[in-house]
Amino acid sequence: MGLSGLFLITFIVIHLLINAFSLVSADLFNAGSHFMGTNPVIQVMQFVLAAGFIIHIIMGIRLTMQNNAARPIKYAHNDPSANSSFSSRNMIYTGLLVLLFLFLHLKDFFVPIKFDHGAYGTDYDLLTQVFSNPLYVLIYVIAFIGLAIHLNHGFQSAFQSIGANHSKYTPGLKKFGVVFCYIVGIGFSSIALFHFFNSL
């Protein structure tokens, strides 16, 4: 679970970086998108990425079922906020939200770029076309917030799962994880909102 999570976090960082190119210029974004779409190593890694998603999803569902089975009878009095964070208690829900968003994202971008390349113009044209729709922008921003909440717990939990847990550097890692989830949520949302307002 931890390893697949760290692998997906790496993908998110690269994805955010390439998307941020669209804030600079259309040519820079198209060049980055073209590189991601034609580089042989990246093409092979797409299958590894898909496997990483599948493994992460299966392990997440399995872990939730195991946790529920371990405590079939709820506590008579329970104060969950005193024992765990909001993000950790809702990992399965934010994970499912991200999964649903992933299907939408594949339909909007991966499928057209992969199988209908050029019919919509450039990749930048496709990006601006999708984010010119206010409903889509709202859905994407909600999904980005869900992703950020998921990462708020998932980032530090991934390191803990692989044994990288020490009293000296774990507190700093947790703080960096919070900063990272804000960067991801605000970063992706800002890109969507920028292109929406730019289309008005």
Architecture of domain 2-199: Up-down Bundle (1.20)
Q: Give per-residue pLDDT as tens, 70-129.
A: 766 655 555 555 557 788 888 888 989 999 999 999 999 988 888 876 678 899 999 999
Q: Where are the domains of the chain?
A: 2-199
H-assigned helices in the chain: 2-20, 26-38, 40-70, 80-83, 86-89, 91-105, 111-115, 123-130, 134-161, 170-199
Rounded Cα distance between 187 and 190, Å, is 5
Render the burial of 20-40: b for 16+ CB within 10 Å, e for the rest. Answer: bbbeeeeeebbebbeebeeee
Q: Tell me, what's the pLDDT at 59?
A: 83
Q: 32-36, 155-159, 176-180, 188-192: which range is least confident on average?
A: 155-159
